Amino acid sequence: MMKKTFLLVGLATALSWTACQNQANKTTDTELSDSSFAGSIDGQEMTLFTLKNEKGAKATFTNFGARIVSLWVPDKEGNLTDVVLGFNKAGDYNNPEEPYYGTIVGPFGNRIAKGKFTLDGEEYTLPTNNGGNTLHGGFKGVHFAAWEGKQDGDNKVTFSYTLPDKNEGFPGNISMTVTYKLTDDNALEIDYTATTDKKTVVNLTNHAYFNLNGEGSGTILDHSLQIYGDQYTPVDSTLIPTGELATVKGTPFDFSQAKTIGKDIEQQDEQLRYGGGYDHNFILRGDKVDNLNHAATLIGDKSGIKMDIYTEEPGLQFYSGNFMAEKVTLKNGKKDAFRTGLCLETQHFPDAPNQANFPSTVLEPGQTYTTKSIYKFSL
C-alpha cells in the first residue's frame, strides 16, 4: 500500500490556537460540549453550531474548516445514530496527520499533479503535501482555516472564508461560502459559492467520513454501495489520473448495481493496489433527480440507514478509508481503525487544471462558482 505522509511544515506557526483545548471531556453519546469547541483561532471565535429538524435529526458543525462534527439520523429501530466520524474537541481536528475529518476541502479538492498548473501562460506552483503532488489545497488549504460562521434559525448555518492571494499558492483572493441546511425530510444540503479577483481554479467538496452503522461500529465493508456511473478515471501510482476515462464493466470498480464494498476490494488489481483499496473518481452518468445528478446510494447493513447523494458535480471520489490506521480517537472513544469510515466526495475530477479533456475548474473574476450537493437519509 502506498504510504501517506503529511508534512508539518509551517503549520505550527500558521495557527494560533487558544483556550479550551484541554477541557474535561463531558461528552456523552448524544451531547458534545460547547466549551470543547470554543476558543479562538487566528483571532476568529470558534463555536459549535447545532442544527435540528422537526423529526429529531441533528447535526453539529465547527467553523474550524467549516466541518461537520456529527450527524444524527434515525436507524431502523428509530434510534438516532451518528453517521459522521469526528472528534469531541475542536483541538483534535488540528492534526496534520489526519486533517480531513468532516471538513470542507479547497480551494481545490483532491490532487494537482506535482503542485503545478498553468493559466494564460503563467505557471503556478503550489506546496506539495502528498507524494510530490498537492492534495486538498495543500498543507493548510481551507481545512485548517478559521471560517466565520452564522446560524440562521434551527436548520441553516453559513460559513465564509477568503483565502488570500497566493497564500496556499493559488492565484486570487478566493472568497468562499458553504451553507449547510438540515431539512425536515432528513437531508443535509450543502451549497457552495466562490468568487475570485484573479483567474484561478476552484473545486470544493466535503470530506465527511461516513459509517451508516454509526461511528465506531466496525468496518464499512458490508455496507452496500451503488454508484450511478459507468466510467471512472484510473490513476498512476501517485493517484494522479492518467487522463483515461475507463469503463467500470468487468472490473472491481463496477458499482453500477448495488454490491458490498468488501466484495471485490481485495481483488488483485493494479488500480486497487495504487489506492490501497478504492480511492478513485467516478464519472457520474447524469441520472437526474430534481435536476441534480444521482451520485450514489449507500446502505448500512446493521442500521438499515440509507444515504442517497445528489449533486450538480460531474464526479464522485470514493475513498474506502484505506489510510485509517488507529492513530486518532473518535467522539465515542473508538479508534479510527482501518476502513471504519468511507468518503463520497462530490467534485470535479482530480488534476482537472492539467487535463484538457476533464470538465474545467477555472474560475474567472466576475464569475460566481456555485454548486450544490445533497446527502439524504432514509431507511
Nearer to ligand BGC, 253 or 323 (CB): 323
Residue 274 marked as a ligand binder: no
Nearer to ligand BGC, 49 or 108 (CB): 108
* Listed ranges 6-14, 290-298, 316-324, 332-340: which one lies at the site for ligand BGC (CB under 6 A): 316-324
| DSSP structural state of residue 335 | B
Minimum distance from CB of 227 to ligand BGC (Å)?
Answer: 15
- If one asks whether residue 239 binds ligand BGC (CB under 6 A), the answer comes out as yes
- If one asks whether residue 170 binds ligand BGC (CB under 6 A), the answer comes out as no
345 is annotated as an active-site residue: yes
Choose among 316, 283, 285, 80: nearest CA to 206: 316
Which grid coordinates belong to 140? 493548510
Residue 197 marked as a ligand binder: no
Distances (CA, A) of 286 to 113, 228, 246, 290: 27, 8, 17, 12
- If one asks whether residue 233 binds ligand BGC (CB under 6 A), the answer comes out as no
Candidate list 207, 280, 294, 348, residue with the active-site label: 207
Residue 279 marked as a ligand binder: yes
Choose among 332, 379, 334: nearest CA to 212: 379
Residue 209 marked as a ligand binder: yes
Minimum distance from CB of 322 to ligand BGC (Å)?
Answer: 7
Minimum distance from CB of 343 to ligand BGC (Å)?
Answer: 6
Site string for ligand BGC, 324-343 (x = CB under 6 A): -------------------x
DSSP string, 83-109: -B---SSGGGG--TTSTTTT-EE-SB-
Residue 224 three-state SS: strand
Nearer to ligand BGC, 2 or 80 (CB): 2
Q: How far apart are CA 85 and CA 341, in angstroms?
A: 7
- If one asks whether residue 323 binds ligand BGC (CB under 6 A), the answer comes out as yes
Choose among 233, 222, 230: nearest CA to 274: 233
Minimum distance from CB of 75 to ligand BGC (Å)?
Answer: 26
DSSP string, 159-213: EEEEE-TTTTS-SS-EEEEEEEEE-TTSEEEEEEEEE-SS-EE-B-EE-PPB-TT
Residue that the C-alpha cell 472564508 belongs to: 161
- If one asks whether residue 351 binds ligand BGC (CB under 6 A), the answer comes out as no
- If one asks whether residue 344 binds ligand BGC (CB under 6 A), the answer comes out as no
Among 103, 179, 317, 346, binds ligand BGC (CB under 6 A): 317
Sign of CA dihedral 359, 363, 369, 375: positive
98 is annotated as an active-site residue: no
Candidate list 98, 168, 215, 345, residue with the active-site label: 345
Q: How far apart are CA 150 and CA 152, in angstroms?
A: 7
Residue 208 marked as a ligand binder: yes
Which grid coordinates belong to 37? 469547541
Minimum distance from CB of 71 to ligand BGC (Å)?
Answer: 18
Minimum distance from CB of 281 to ligand BGC (Å)?
Answer: 8
- If one asks whether residue 139 binds ligand BGC (CB under 6 A), the answer comes out as no
* Listed ranges 47-55, 112-120, 121-129, 315-323: which one lies at the site for ligand BGC (CB under 6 A): 315-323
R_g of the chain computed on alpha carbons = 19
CB atoms within 10 A of CB 46: 22
Catalytic residues: 207, 345
Binding residues for beta-D-galactose: 110-111, 207-209, 279
